[in-house]
Structure 1
Amino acid sequence: MSFQTLESRSIAFAAMCQAAYLVDKIANKGICPDAVAFNASLRSIVRTDSAAPLEIFGGHESLKLGYKTVVAQLDNVDGSRNMQVTKYVAGLIALERKLSANPGSLNLLGERINQVNRQLAHFEIDDSSVLSNLDSIYKDLISNLGPKIQVNGNPSYLQQDHTQHKIRALLLAGVRAAVLWRQVGGKRRQLLLSRKAIVHQTKQNLLRT
Structure 2
Amino acid sequence: MTIQTLSNQTIALAGIAQACSLVHQLATAGACPSPAMQSSIGSLLKIDSDSVAEVYGGIAGVTHGLEQLQRQLANREQASAEQTRYAAQLVYLQKKLSGKTEMQDNIRAGIARAQAQSEHFGILHENVLANLADIYHSSISTLQPRIMVAGDPQYLGNQAIVNKIRALLLAGIRSTLLWRQCGGTRWTLLWSRRKIQDEARFLLTQT
Distance in 2 of aligned mates of 1:48 and 1:118: 12
Q: Which amino acid aligns with 1:182?
A: R
**TM-score of the two chains, using structure 1 as the length reference:** 0.96
1:72-151 matched pairs, under 5 angstroms: 72-77=71-76, 79-151=77-149
Aligned length: 207
- Residue number in structure 2 paired with 1:22: 22
**Conserved 8 A contact 1:20-1:85:** yes
- Single out whichever of 131-140 and 46-55 deviates more from structure 2: 46-55
CA contact (8 A) 2:94 2:177 kept: yes
Distance of 1:110 and 1:84 partners within structure 2: 28
Structure 2: 5+ residue stretches without partners: none
Q: CA deviation at 1:131?
A: 0.7
- RMSD (CA atoms): 1.0
Write the deviation string for residues 15-54 of structure 1: whole angstroms up to 9, x where unpaired. 000000000011000011x111100000100112225211
Contact kept, 8 Å, 1:16 with 1:174, in 2: the verdict is yes
User: Within 5 A, what are the aligned runs for 1:61-72?
Assistant: 61-72=60-71
Task: Confirm or deny: 8 A CA contact 1:73 1:86 kept in the other structure.
Answer: no
| Amino acid in structure 2 at the alignment position of 1:66 | G
Residue type matched to 1:70 in 2? Answer: L
**Alignment-mate amino acid for residue 31 of structure 1:** A
Secondary structure of the equivalent of 2:2?
coil
Query: Unmatched 5+ residue regions in structure 1?
Result: none
Measure the CA separation in 2 of the matches of 1:118 and 1:205: 32
**Cα distance, 1:97 vs. partner?**
0.3
Cα distance in 2 between the residues matched to 1:118 and 1:130: 9
Tell me how far apart the structure 2 counterparts of residues 108 and 180 of structure 1 sit (CA, whole Å): 19
CA distance in structure 1 between the partners assigned to 2:183 and 2:132 by the alignment = 27
Query: Identity rate of aligned residues, in percent?
Result: 38
Q: Which moved more, 1:80-89 or 1:150-159?
A: 80-89
